[in-house]
Amino acid sequence: MESIDLAYKDLAGQVLEYGQMRDTRNGKTISLFGTTLSFNMAHIGLPLLSLRKIYFNGVVGEFRGFLRDATTVQEFKDLGCNYWDLWADKDGNLTLDYPPREQLSAVVESIIKDPNGRRHMINLWNHKHLPSLSLPCCHFNYQFYVRDEYLDMVWTQRSVDVAVGLPSDFILAALYLIYIGEQTNLKPGRVVMNFGDTHIYEEHIKDMEMMLQRTPSYSYIDYQWENEELVPLNYKFHDPIKFELKG
């Protein structure tokens, strides 16, 4: 059976084995450029990492904040997402490009009108906005593809923190497929994730190596809606590991 854990272990192992140490704006990293990873929700369900506990509700809250064009840390916190403080100004304000609502609506309309089209695209990289953004979009391009009754996606990301950010990115990708699929009567399918700077911070390496020795779960993680909340079922996981979030 496919496993998001095995895909993750393979990618992290590549970074640790072949990456180079680099001094960056917020610390030393071991970095590998130009990597890829894929998973199929039809086979694994929700892509929740079992190697450590992933706090699913925080990522769902972040996605809901994106959909509502949240502009403050407090808006994210009210939705259950508690990790945007690092990028806010002193008053808790945020300027983000995640994701323009009109592009989401346009993709849904495009898929419905022309399922076999090659223009089902969302692109968030706007050079004119970069100087004013709290954080330039890490994942910035999503292309969708209708395959029979399934919706697939290619996800492109300029930078990925393997220890902290990547497990959340799996969930965000799944949420895109669930959200758009529900409006187009399609099931979540395959996700191909392409990464630029794929890195592990120096202070995360020891715990990452320990985590990669854990035995992954191979269970299909189903989900259901409860009171308008997406709830994962039968999620089995190892103990949490606290990786420091780098701003």
Tokens describing residue 139: 């994942």
CA 161 – CA 110 distance, rounded (Å): 32
From the number of C-beta atoms within 10 Å of its C-beta (0-12, 13-18, 19+), residue 221 rates as buried
Find the catalytic residue in 138, 154, 164, 241. 138
CB 193 within 8 A of CB 169: yes
CB 94 within 8 A of CB 123: no
Q: How many residues make up the chain in this entry?
A: 247
CA 200 – CA 211 distance, rounded (Å): 13
Across-strand partners of 153?
144, 191
Residue with tokens 């990464």: 195
Tokens describing residue 85: 């403080």
Q: Phi and psi dihedrals of 115, rounded to 5?
A: -55, -30
CB 52 within 8 A of CB 201: no
CA 209 – CA 192 distance, rounded (Å): 25
CB 152 within 8 A of CB 191: yes
Does 138 qualify as catalytic in the annotation? yes
Going by C-alpha positions, the residue among 83, 79, 55 that lies closest to residue 67 is: 79
CA 25 – CA 158 distance, rounded (Å): 15
Annotated catalytic residues are 138
